[in-house]
Amino acid sequence: MSMTHDGAHMVQLESQTDILDGLQMFTRLDSNVIYVEGEKGSGKSWLAQGFLNTDKKIQTLSFLICLSTQTAEQQRSILLGQLLSDSFCTGEETLLESLSVFRKDQECKATIIVDDANLLAEHLLDELAQLVLAAQQNPLWQISVILFAKPNEIDESSLNTDPKPEFKHITILPLTDSEATDFIEQLVIPVSHIDSDKKKQAIHRAAESVVNYLANLLALSDSHKKPVVCWVKRSLIALIIILLALGGWSWWTSYQARVQDQQTETDIIGQDEANQDTLPNQDSSSSDTTSGTQSTLDADQTQEDDTLPQAVTDKTLTVGDESDSEQKRVVVPSKVVDALLDGDSPKDAKVSNDEVISAQASSVQKTNSSLKGDQLSLADEALLALPAERYTLQLTAVTKQDEAVSFIKMYGLDGQVRVYRTLRNQQPWYIVTYQDFASIKETREAAQELSLALQKEQPWPKSIAQVHQEIERVK
C-alpha cells in the first residue's frame, strides 16, 4: 500500500496491501462484520484512510471516528447522515429502522468504517450487527461493517443480537525487517532531512530495539532532526529588533522635521510682525487678516501632516539608505518570512512592485464564509477548489440560511468555517464545515480540539469528494 506522511511519498508495503486486499474481498462478496485488530501505533488509522482512498467500487462509504464524549444518538446521526445523505434522519430511530424506511425497496451497497470501535456507545454495536444480518437476508442490500480497535477490546459474544453474525478477523502484524528498512530509507530519513551517514546508521541501530510498527519507526527520527527551531526563533527576534529600530528611526526623523517646520513657521511669523510695524495704518487691517489666515492654514496643514500615516514604499530599505526626510514605512516581503520559518537563508530580500502588490492582495483574500449583518457568503468555489482526497469536519446541517447564521454567531465562527448549499429531497440545506485536512488522523485531532459545546453538535468527518457531489446537485 502506498501512503504519505507530512506530504512525503510513502514506501509500498506488501503487508499493508495484503490487509487492504482482504478488506476489499470481504466487503465485495457479501455483507460481513470485519474486526481489524492491531496494537497502538500499528497503523489502524492509516489502513482506514487507505481503504477510503483505494476502494472505488463501494457505492456509499460511512466513516465514524469514535470519541469518548459522544452519545449513542450523536454516533447514530453521524452514520445516518452519510448513509442517507439525501434524507433527513433525527438519530432517534435505530440504524435498521431508518434504512428500512428510506431504502426498503431500493438497492443499498455500503461499507461502514468505525475507528476506535471500542468507544462505540452502548447498543451501537448491536445495531451494526443487526444491520449486517438484515442485509444478508435482503437481496437488494450489501452492507459491511469494518471495526478498527486494539486486540480483545471488542467481545462479539457480548452481543444481544440473536443470531449473532460471524466476525471476520484481520490482525495487523509488525512490518518485516525488509519492509522496516525500506520504510526508514524512503520515509523516515527524508522527512527528517537527515543527510549524515552517522545519523542514518544510528536510526537503523535504534530500529533493532523497537517493534516494527509504523508509529515506532517514525518516532526514531525525533532525536536526530536538525535543530532549526532555535535558529528560527533567533532570526525572528533579530527581524523584530530591526523593524523596531527602523520604526524608531523613522519616528525620530519625522519628529525632527516637525520641530524644524515649527521653528521656520515661528521665524516667518516674527518677520511678518516686524514688517507690519513699517506698513501704513491703512494697510494694517488687511495685513493682519492675511497673516492670520496664512498662519491658520499652515497650522492646519502641519496638524494634518502629523496625523496622516506615512506612505508605504515598495523598496527594500536598510538603515542609512535614505535621508532623514525620505524615511518611509518598510514592507517586509512574505517570502522572506517564509524562508526564515523554513530554516532557509533567503538569497535575495528584494522584490518587485508587482510582488508586493500580489502579497498585499493575497493577505486580504477570503476563502471562508463570512457574515455581513444577517447575510452569509457561501464558500462553494473555495470547497470545489480543494482536492477530492482531503477531508473536512461537518459541524451542522440546517434547512434555512438564517439558522446557519445563528449557529455561526452562537459559537463565534465568523470567518472560520465554509458553508455550502445543497439539495436533499428537493429541499435546500446549508452545510457548515470546519477547515480541511489531509488525513483521518488530522481530522480526529481537530475534532478532539473543538470546544465541548461544539462537540455536542455532533461534528463528523466528511470527504471533500462527497462535498463536491453535494454542491453539484444545486447546479
Residue pLDDT, tens place only, 294-348: 444 444 444 444 434 444 444 444 434 444 444 444 444 555 445 444 555 444 4
Would you state the cell numbers that stand for residue 290, as one nine-digit string?
A: 492675511
Would you state the cell numbers that stand for residue 315, as one nine-digit string?
A: 523598496
Q: Given its phi and psi angles, is residue 82 left (phi above 0), alpha (psi -120 to 50 degrees) or beta? A: alpha
Q: Given its phi and psi angles, is residue 370 left (phi above 0), alpha (psi -120 to 50 degrees) or beta? A: beta
Residues found in the chain: 475
Judging by beta carbons within 10 Å of its beta carbon (0-12, 13-18, 19+), is residue 220 exposed, middle or buried? buried
- Decide: 433 and 467 in contact? Cβ < 8 Å: yes
pLDDT of residue 279: 45
pLDDT of residue 436: 93
pLDDT of residue 274: 56
The span from the CA of 160 to the CA of 86, in Å, is: 31
The span from the CA of 457 to the CA of 460, in Å, is: 9
pLDDT of residue 58: 61
Residue numbers of the chain with a pLDDT score lower than 70:
1-12, 54-59, 89-91, 191-195, 221-232, 254-366
The span from the CA of 173 to the CA of 211, in Å, is: 10
Query: How wide is the angle at C-alpha 447 spanned by C-alphas 221 and 474, nearest 5°?
Result: 120
Would you state the cell numbers that stand for residue 429, as one nine-digit string?
A: 440545506
pLDDT of residue 460: 82
pLDDT of residue 293: 45
The span from the CA of 217 to the CA of 222, in Å, is: 10
The span from the CA of 103 to the CA of 143, in Å, is: 12
The span from the CA of 16 to the CA of 48, in Å, is: 11
CA distances from 206 to 181, 192, 196, 259 (A): 12, 15, 16, 69
CB atoms inside a 10 Å sphere around CB 320: 7
The span from the CA of 413 to the CA of 368, in Å, is: 10
The residue written with cell numbers 453535494 in the block is 470
| 3-class DSSP assignment, residue 34 | strand
Q: Which of 185, 173, 64, 75 is nearest to 121 (CA)?
A: 75
pLDDT of residue 224: 59
The span from the CA of 334 to the CA of 376, in Å, is: 30
| 3-class DSSP assignment, residue 290 | helix
